[in-house]
Amino acid sequence: MHMETTLSKHALAYDRYALVQLFKAIEEFRGVDPEMPAQGVALFLYSAIYPGCTMADLQKNLGMTQSSCSRNVSALSEWHRLEKPGLGLIVASPDPMERRRKIVQLTEKGQQLAVSLTEAVMNPVRLSSFSKAAR
């Protein structure tokens, strides 16, 4: 069996409906910030899945450096670097038990986005209506 044949069989094995659901979720993120980087998306989703996670958890589980994690948390928080407004989706606050540790949680706006993302992924869409909307 040729490698090309195997690859072409696998290339057809994706689910267009599942991709539409993913596309809808990405559109929710783009509604908040049209240029949100994938690292920001991953960090937001991890924070929503694991409320109360720490900055160290984010760094370890998302494979981010400390500086990259801080930059992304800052962008998703109330205030980005250089006094520029952030997206207000998460808040990082000191752990009362260990002041050096930061605990990350969704804000009310972040919780609303998590609800919208859940609806975007869970509510099925017919491909015919999606393709018309995409034109």
Is 85 a member of any domain?
yes
CA atoms of 5 and 10, how far apart (whole Å): 9
Share of the chain above pLDDT 90, in %: 68
Is 69 a member of any domain?
yes
pLDDT surpasses 50 at 7: yes
Task: Report residue 15 as tokens.
Answer: 């689910």
**Into how many domains does the chain fold?**
1
Is 45 a member of any domain?
yes
Is 5 a member of any domain?
no
Is 1 a member of any domain?
no
> Where on the phi/psi map is residue 83: left (φ > 0), alpha (ψ -120 to 50), or beta?
left
Is 39 a member of any domain?
yes
CATH number for 87: 1.10.10.10
Q: Looking at residue 135, what is its pLDDT?
A: 44
Q: Indicate yes or no: pTM above 0.75.
A: yes
Is 10 a member of any domain?
no
Q: Looking at residue 130, what is its pLDDT?
A: 64
Mean pLDDT, residues 43-66 taken together: 97
Is 128 a member of any domain?
yes
pLDDT surpasses 90 at 3: no
Residue ranges making up the domain that contains 78: 16-134
Q: Looking at residue 124, what is its pLDDT?
A: 77
Q: Which amino acid is at 18?
A: A
